[in-house]
Amino acid sequence: MRARDLACDFPTVTVDTPVYDAARLLAEQDLPGLIVVDGRGLPVTILPGTQVLRLAVPGYCQDDPALARVVDEAHADRFLHALAGRTVREALPAQPRELPITAPDATVLELAALMARTHSPLVAVVSDGALLGAVTLQALLDRAVAA
């Protein structure tokens, strides 16, 4: 079992996608994260779901629980809308050390170690300069449990 056998088609966004649309895609398609691609369709970064959420949380609330607490309930409920028009580009976090991107011949164990190391429930599979698809934590676990 290799990455190529586990990879599925996966929706992508670009750096020009509004943050709200990215969050809606994640919610509506029940995705574990998003792949951000460049103009050639190659992954620029992979965002686990929690980090898509991070794009949508105002900077002053991210690291200080006390500041998130002073926003009243009605405004807190609509936090996604407060960022109308803001794109993924403007909200991208500092590039992580290692991206969850691998080659088609990666084994199940390599995929598992990569997901664990990068805290990403989603690994992009790239071959010859093209995105083949993605392996999700769920797909990996389903096969590992059945093995």
In degrees rounded to 5, what are phi and psi of residue 136? -95, 155
**Burial class (CB within 10 angstroms; exposed 0-12, middle 13-18, buried 19+) of 63:** exposed
In the bound state with its own copies, the residue whose beta carbon lies nearer, of 71 and 92, is: 71
Q: What is the nearest approach in angstroms of its own copies to the Cβ of residue 61?
A: 5
- Provide the minimum distance between the beta carbon of 25 and its own copies in the complex, in angstroms, as a whole number: 10
User: Using CB under 8 A as the criterion, what x/- string covers residues 13-52 for binding its own copies?
Assistant: ----------xx-xxx-x-x---------------xxxx-
Within 86-145, which residues bind its own copies (CB under 8 A)? 107-110, 112-121, 137-138, 140-145
Kindly give the pairing relationship between strand 12-14 and strand 43-48. unpaired
Strands (E), the chain: 12-14, 33-37, 43-48, 101-102, 122-127, 130-136
Nearer to its own copies, 89 or 117 (CB): 117
* Whole-angstrom distance, CA of residue 130 vs CA of residue 68: 40
Instruction: Determine how many CB atoms are found less than 10 A away from the CB of residue 137.
Output: 18
Q: Which residue type sits at 78?
A: R
- Interface positions, 53-72, toward its own copies (CB under 8 A): 53-54, 56-57, 61-63, 65, 68-69, 71
**Residues engaged in binding its own copies (CB under 8 A):** 1-2, 23-24, 26-28, 30, 32, 48-51, 53-54, 56-57, 61-63, 65, 68-69, 71, 73, 75-81, 107-110, 112-121, 137-138, 140-145, 147
